[in-house]
Amino acid sequence: MTEKIAVILSKDRKASPEQEALHAQLLRGLERRAELDVTVLPHLYDLAPEDPSVQRLRAISGDLIVLGWLYPRSTYWVLDAHGVRGRLGRTTSMPEEDADEPPPSRHGKRVLPDRTLWCFDLRAHDRPEAYLAAIERIAGHKLGEAVALGEAIAAEGSGEAAILDESIGPRWYPVVDFDRCNNCLECLNFCLFGVYGLDAAGAITVEQPDACRPGCPACARVCPQAAIIFPQHNDPAIAGDPRTSLAGLKLDLSQLLSGISPSELAAAERQQAAAEERRRQAAGPIERRGAAPPEQAIPPGPDAPPPADERVDRLVDGLEQLDL
Amino acid sequence: MTKPLVFLMGRTPVFVPVDRRYGRNHMWAQEGNGGFRLGLSAYAVRLLGDVRHVEWSVKEGDAADEGMPLGYVEASKATSDLYAPIAGRVEAIDAEVLARPSLVNTNPYDAGWLLSMSGDGQPLLSPEQYLAHLEAAWPLAQRLLKGQAGRQP
């Protein structure tokens, strides 16, 4: 018997009434289909490895449909960071999903399990129909396969969604797109907070995600491959919008034409984050979820950037407000 | 007239006339009566492509800090906010470019001027300094462009 198809509905951090309404409509539509196994989770990005939600995600071995409040590409790489891997599913019914070209083949080091992760961005439509239709198509296709194999899809059970409503705090950490990353280690060398590390094979890993400074996207700016995603950043290019990286789309030169160089911008952001970290530590320890208590202040080592002058600060503020 | 300096963007030469000064934001500034006439350098124009639309969020008489966003340009290859290269006051806005944005492409250093500002012009660079700025910033500019362009070669 073919397994049920797992569907994850990941809620936004603070769901608005409109978002709650969409959740409810989606749940009603999904629970009607007995071949789906629906689970409601908190915001995917905020989950930590030890959370039951992550354990549940990891326990799913078959295809997975994920509805969340992130760009599909971000959802896919956040899942990857949680150890949930598979091929990225592509649908034609949701053209937004497909804006990105298929990932180029990597240097053969990422071995993916033989299954598909379908990721949907709940910000793409404010009505449930498009999502339900897409899920129906995916399920229908699976059903067809099962029939061809002479199998039946499990249809027992109530179809009622499991709700894992852990109360969790917001997190902030980089998510690496390993299809783009070429392991140049610029991020490792650039980050002041020891977020990045190397695994046994010498590949970059996000070793201390919670050592990252909330709001600081500097490493994403220095990454030559644009492989670092901060899913909650204002700038779509940093938050994982594939459309900002497409040929034929217009570039935003505001950073260049503001007279501030990208390296200055990144250095200023890093500097700002370091200053905030020092202030935070001076103000006494604050429990941060998952973060080891900081043992020492950020040393103004020889590697530290020169003090950012006021002009750079002002420009960085201006750039942040502009929502580049 | 003295020959302009030349910067090579890849294989494309762009000219840096020596009869004016430059902002680090790739605007030229030519001092005349009552302030600096400002426009985009050929380097900025080359990055933008064919300019289709220019608009201003400031009006004549407004004060502006250095680095303050003043307006917006949309072109065939890119869009960008436009920033004040100096602190001062907006004296005049070129109405002809608003009506015919392509002037920025056909004549960036003259008829394609954008606006004029009064001020002491303190942060402006000499043509030689601007050329050095272009040379120093070029690898990073390329990286930013490639980063934005994702996997484009």
* CB-CB contact of A54 with A91 (8 Å): no
Which of chain B's residues have a Cβ under 8 Å away from the Cβ of A311?
Answer: 66-67
pLDDT at A307: 40
Please tell me the distance from the alpha carbon of residue B26 to that of residue B41, in angstroms, as a whole number: 6
- The residue of chain B nearest to residue A179, with distances taken between CA atoms, is B151
Per-residue pLDDT band for A151 (boundaries 50, 70, 90) equals low
Query: In this complex, do B148 and A244 lie within 8 Å of one another by their Cβ atoms?
Result: yes
pLDDT at A311: 43
Query: In this complex, do A255 and B145 lie within 8 Å of one another by their Cβ atoms?
Result: no
Which of chain A's residues have a Cβ under 8 Å away from the Cβ of B75?
Answer: 250
Per-residue pLDDT band for A245 (boundaries 50, 70, 90) equals very low
The share of chain B scoring above pLDDT 70, in percent, equals 92
Query: In this complex, do A259 and B23 lie within 8 Å of one another by their Cβ atoms?
Result: yes
Q: Is the pLDDT of residue A189 over 60?
A: yes
Structure tokens at B75: 């072109």
Task: List the single residue in A224, A257, A315 with the smallest CB-CB distance to B147.
Answer: A224
CB atoms closer than 10 angstroms to residue A137: 13
Query: In this complex, do B146 and A224 lie within 8 Å of one another by their Cβ atoms?
Result: yes
pLDDT tens per residue, range A23-72: 999 999 998 888 899 999 999 999 998 899 999 999 999 999 999 999 99
Block residue for tokens 């709940």: A122
pLDDT at A222: 77
**Strand, coil or helix: what is A275?**
helix
> How many whole angstroms from its chain centre is CA A279?
28
pLDDT at B9: 83
pTM of the model: 0.58
Per-residue pLDDT band for A112 (boundaries 50, 70, 90) equals confident
Q: Is the pLDDT of residue A284 over 70?
A: no
pLDDT at A89: 85
- The residue of chain B nearest to residue A235, with distances taken between CA atoms, is B148
The share of chain A scoring above pLDDT 90, in percent, equals 36
Q: Give the closest residue to A92 by CA, choosing from A137, A123, A124, A26.
A: A137
Q: Give the closest residue to A187 by CA, choosing from A154, A210, A212, A220.
A: A220
Structure tokens at B46: 């080359």
B132 has a chain A CB within 8 A of its CB: no
pLDDT, chain B, mean: 89
pLDDT at B22: 97
Please tell me the distance from the alpha carbon of residue B103 to that of residue B81, in angstroms, as a whole number: 18
User: Does the domain formed by B20-145 have CATH 3.40.50.410?
Assistant: no
Question: Which of A73-82, A138-147, B1-10 holds the top average pLDDT?
Answer: A73-82
Q: What is the mean pLDDT of residues A162-173?
A: 87
A259 compared with A321, residue with greater pLDDT:
A259
Burial string for A83-121 (b: 16+ CB within 10 Å, else e) reads ebbbbbbebeebebbebbeebeeeeeeeeeeeebbbbbb
A289 compared with A6, residue with greater pLDDT:
A6
B145 has a chain A CB within 8 A of its CB: yes
- The residue of chain A nearest to residue B144, with distances taken between CA atoms, is A262
Please enumerate in sequence order all residues whose Cβ is within 8 A of that of A258, keeping only pairs 6 or more positions apart, or say none: A315, A318, A319, B25, B67, B81, B83
Q: Is the pLDDT of residue A207 over 50?
A: yes
Structure tokens at A97: 């999903």
Please tell me the distance from the alpha carbon of residue A221 to that of residue A228, in angstroms, as a whole number: 8
pLDDT tens per residue, range B29-67: 999 877 999 999 999 999 888 898 999 999 999 999 998
**Half-sphere exposure (Cβ direction) of B68: Cα atoms closer than 13 Å:** 15
Please tell me the distance from the alpha carbon of residue B52 to that of residue B77, in angstroms, as a whole number: 10
Q: What is the mean pLDDT of residues A145-160?
A: 62
pLDDT, chain A, mean: 77
Query: In this complex, do A257 and B143 lie within 8 Å of one another by their Cβ atoms?
Result: no
Q: Give the closest residue to A180 by CA, choosing from A272, A102, A111, A256.
A: A102
Please tell me the distance from the alpha carbon of residue A241 to that of residue A223, in angstroms, as a whole number: 16
Query: In this complex, do A180 and B68 lie within 8 Å of one another by their Cβ atoms?
Result: no
Q: Is the pLDDT of residue A288 over 70?
A: no
Q: Which amino acid is at B107?
A: N
pLDDT tens per residue, range A75-109: 999 999 999 999 888 765 444 434 444 444 444 45
Which of chain A's residues have a Cβ under 8 Å away from the Cβ of B137?
Answer: 261
Give the DSSP letter string of B66-121. Answer: TT-EEEEEEESSEEEEEE-SSSEEEEEE-HHHHH-TTHHHH-TTTTT--EEEES--
Query: In this complex, do A259 and B148 lie within 8 Å of one another by their Cβ atoms?
Result: no
pLDDT at A237: 80
Which of chain A's residues have a Cβ under 8 Å away from the Cβ of B80?
Answer: 252-254, 256-257
Q: What is the mean pLDDT of residues A309-317?
A: 43
- The residue of chain B nearest to residue A257, with distances taken between CA atoms, is B25
Task: List the single residue in A223, A255, A259 with the smallest CB-CB distance to B24.
Answer: A259
pLDDT at A156: 54
